[in-house]
Amino acid sequence: MQNQTNENVAEYFGCNVFNDVVMRERLPKYAYKAVVKTKQFGTALSPDVADVVANAMKDWAVEKGATHYTHWFQPMTGVTAEKHDAFISPAPHGRIILEFSGKELIKGEPDASSFPSGGLRATFEARGYTAWDPTSDAFIKDDSLYIPTAFCSYTGEILDKKTPLLRSMEVVSEQALRILRLFGNTKATRVVTTVGPEQEYFLVDKKYYDQREDLIITGRTLFGAKPPKGQELEDHYFGNIKQRVSDFMKDLDKELWKLGIYAKTKHNEVAPAQHELAPVFTTSNIAADHNQLMMELMKKIALKHGLVCLLHEKPFAGINGSGKHNNWSMSSNDGQNLLDPGDTPQENMQFLTFLCAIIKAVHEYAPLLRLSAASAGNDHRLGANEAPPAVVSMFIGSELEEVIEALENGKKYVSSTAEFDIGVDALPNFKKDTTDRNRTSPFAFTGNKFEFRMLGSADSISCTNTILNTIIAEELCQFADELEKADNFDKALKNLLVKTIKEHKQIIFNGNGYADEWLEEAKRRGLPNLVSTVDAIPLYTSPEYVSVFEKFKVYTKVEIESRTEILLENYAKVINIEALTMLDMAKKQIIPAAVKITKNICDAALSKKELGIDNAFEIGYASKLSALTSSISDAVKSLDEKVIAAQGIEDTEAEAKFCRSDVFVAMQSLRALVDELEMNVSADEWPFPSYTDLLFTV
């Protein structure tokens, strides 16, 4: 049965993708070669070839039942956007023909003013363009042909997340090739960055979700008392998957596989009702496209099973939130993983060169990596003993640390890697990995890749990988500039690596990132601790960061300023929406319920008094609830005032900071009171489902 299942998957995998197999079958040889060249080297397609490709795409899509096409892009909203046009064109005698030209394939025109632009576009400046990204395959979904595209304004400024990612991939390839040439590699013509983003998420029953205004509007519970059981027993992680969840996962896998997405691993995560899906590595821009599709399909397919998929970074207080681990590596098109240390990393100078460049990049540009994971939702996770701390550091494992220490000190390193003896004769011994895994590290080496663990579950991976590619390109460029002019390459390389290690080794930390002692140690090392989004985002426009983006033409200064404005504005908007939702729930549900419950208790106390029965308990109980309700009313008034004050602040950064320092604090005060009230009333009388309902009923 297993073999049959595997065979079936192989038969339908990628069936809804206009991939290499389909193009080879449907395109003339010259057109196919032109597309492959475009994919490999970024060369532009001629209009004639574009027409041929467009017609083949249309015929294939129509055969699959598609009636429309759409340019699918990733604006600065954090989600995808699409406008659908039918293939139909008028024909004589009231009939139609199905057409799709190369011009329509290559360029679309959505409204640019209706998407976040950070001031780049005024409301009346509406024109924007989408441009086909031929490096990412078109696909069919919901009877439409989806064409992955970039998005820019009429004046050329980039308005999306894909364009800078593609640019960064080009520059890191160029600089990595310079290093490979220095090591005598003349075969490789391209280096690609690859990503495998692990996606965490929660599943809750839709009938309970529909009764929670906070979940519907904000994606997280703004109120909720701690349940009797959370994740204390550690019994959910890798535990048996419930049938209802398993059925959802099977359907999700199938739809992802049809779209050519390499969904590989699925399991229960640490928190109750939390799960994870991890794909196989693919190139960064395709991984970004696939991850957006993955999140969309998770939500859509969950509904078919009477479930709702929550992608918020912290939907429930008191238990782990959800992240997205960005597993990043570099590979050349001659088959090398450039981050594979091999069996003797101490002798692998090419690997050590790339490793040292990455160490230097992470140390010098740590604030950029931190801000790439900054959002109102992710502020609940970072540093909360469940995710990496807000301090960026690197874990490289004991063996690699010993290797670079030996290199720094001019000593010979002797490998201590041995077989792992399990101690049971019937079980095989196996070779130990060169590193352990450090789940508390923000940026951890895990064998032949780095795992950036700070990203929130709802985040696009494009921004992080754009930054990662660019800062590493900068360090590789500096290395190449120095080594290319050296008379003695080996000596110059050794001196360069030793110098790099001495100046940047303080970013390396292999210990417990959750420990309070580490925060003190990080401070002594001079590592920044950017606790919140409003601490991190304004650093985006620092001159030294702007210069590196402009150097490689990944962003212009204006484009960085616009992104800073968008991110700060988004933070303030999210906090404002959450605060307004809390106020709405408190005024319309919580306070009325509390008054009603208190009245019922008072009525019971009066009945007892009339019967001559001691009613001290009821009087005390009613007094307690009345006092809590009064405090909640005061907290509502205070939050109301803070929200109004925030809305009166015109400067975006000042508003975001006020939302963090005042509005969010007032929200926390209101929540604490409401959660205490919930713990003191009957579940039947509480106006919305509890944490127990949400977390343990799927």
pLDDT at 404: 83
Q: Is residue 560 part of a domain?
A: no
Q: What is the CATH number of the domain that holds 20?
A: 3.10.20.70
Q: Do residues 499 and 591 share a domain?
A: no
Residue 227 has a CB neighbour count (10 Å cut-off) of: 17
Q: Is residue 679 part of a domain?
A: yes
Query: For a pLDDT cut of 90, what percent of the chain falls above it?
Result: 73
The Cα–Cα gap between 608 and 596 comes to 19
Least confident of 156-170, 464-478, 592-606, 654-668: 156-170
Interval 622-667: pLDDT, tens? 999 999 999 999 999 999 999 999 999 999 999 999 999 999 999 9
- What pLDDT does residue 547 have? 97
Q: For the chain, give the longest Cα–Cα distance.
A: 104
Residue 5 lies in a domain: no
Same domain, 583 and 548: no
Token duo for residue 71: 């340019």
636 and 500 within one domain: no
419 domain residue, yes or no? yes
Q: Considering only residues 387 and 362, tell me which one the structure prediction assigns the higher pLDDT.
A: 362
Q: Are residues 211 and 269 in the same domain?
A: yes
Compute the average pLDDT of residues 47-63.
92
Q: How far apart are CA 436 and CA 682, in angstroms?
A: 48
Q: What is the CA radius of gyration of the chain?
A: 28
* Shared-domain flag, residues 131 and 104: yes
Residue 561 resides in a domain = no
Which pLDDT belongs to residue 106?
A: 81
- Among 501, 529, 555, the domain-final residue is 555
**Rounded Cα distance, 8 and 132, in Å:** 32
* Residue 635 pLDDT: 98
* Rounded CA separation 181/341 (Å): 19
Banded pLDDT at 265 (limits 50, 70, 90)? very high
Which pLDDT band, with edges at 50, 70 and 90, does 112 fall under? Answer: low
Please check whether residues 175 and 125 belong to one and the same domain.
Answer: no
Last-in-domain residue among 515, 530, 555:
555
What is the residue type of 423? G
Tens digit of each residue's pLDDT (9 = 90 or more) over 620-629: 999 999 999 9
Looking at residue 166, its pLDDT comes to 93
Query: Distance between CA atoms of 533 and 371, rounded to whole angstroms?
Result: 7
321 located within any domain: yes
Domain identity same for 144 and 291? no
Q: Which of 555, 579, 603 is the last residue of a domain?
A: 555
- Residues near 582 by Cβ (< 8 Å), separated by ≥ 6? 214, 222, 223, 639, 667, 670, 671
Non-local CB neighbours of 470 within 8 Å, separated by 6+ positions: 168, 171, 172, 548, 549, 552, 554
Helix 349-364 to helix 397-409 angle, to the nearest 10 degrees?
100
Whether residue 363 sits in one domain with residue 458: yes
Phi, psi values for residue 71, rounded to 5°: -85, 115
Q: What CATH code is carried by the domain that includes residue 254?
A: 3.30.590.10
330 Cβ partners below 8 Å, 6+ apart?
172, 176, 191, 192, 193, 194, 337, 338, 339, 354
Q: Are residues 507 and 525 in the same domain?
A: yes
pLDDT at residue 415 greater than cutoff 80: no
Indicate if the pLDDT at residue 427 is higher than 50. Answer: no
- Same domain? For 509 and 619 the reply is no
**What does the chain come to in residues?**
698
Instruction: Give the mean model confidence (pLDDT) for residues 549-565.
Output: 95
Q: Are residues 72 and 195 in the same domain?
A: no
- Distance CA(228)–CA(318), nearest Å, equals 11
Distance of alpha carbon 677 from alpha carbon 671, whole angstroms:
10
In this predicted structure, what is the pLDDT of residue 420?
Answer: 42
Q: In sequence order, what are the beta bridge partners of 263?
A: 279
Instruction: Report if residue 6 sits inside a domain.
Output: no
The count of domains in the chain is: 3
pLDDT of res. 424:
46
Q: Which domain holds residue 136?
A: 15-160
Contacts of 574 (CB under 8 A, 6+ apart): 218, 375, 376, 377
Q: Does the model's pTM come out above 0.75?
A: yes
Residues 397-414 have a mean pLDDT of 79
**CATH number of the domain within which 586 lies:** 1.20.120.1560
Phi, then psi, of 667 in degrees rounded to 5: -65, -45
Residue spans of beta strands (DSSP E) within 435-558: 443-445, 450-452
Is the domain of 588 the same as that of 625?
yes
What pLDDT does residue 421 have?
47
Contact status, residue 469 vs residue 288, Cβ threshold 8 Å: no
Domain assignment present for residue 565? The answer is: no
Rounded to whole angstroms, how far apart are CA atoms 349 and 622? 74
More confident site: 483 or 417: 483
Is 60 exceeded by the pLDDT of residue 416? Answer: no
**Which residues, 6+ apart, have CB-to-CB distance to 377 below 8 Å?**
219, 220, 312, 313, 314, 456, 458, 574
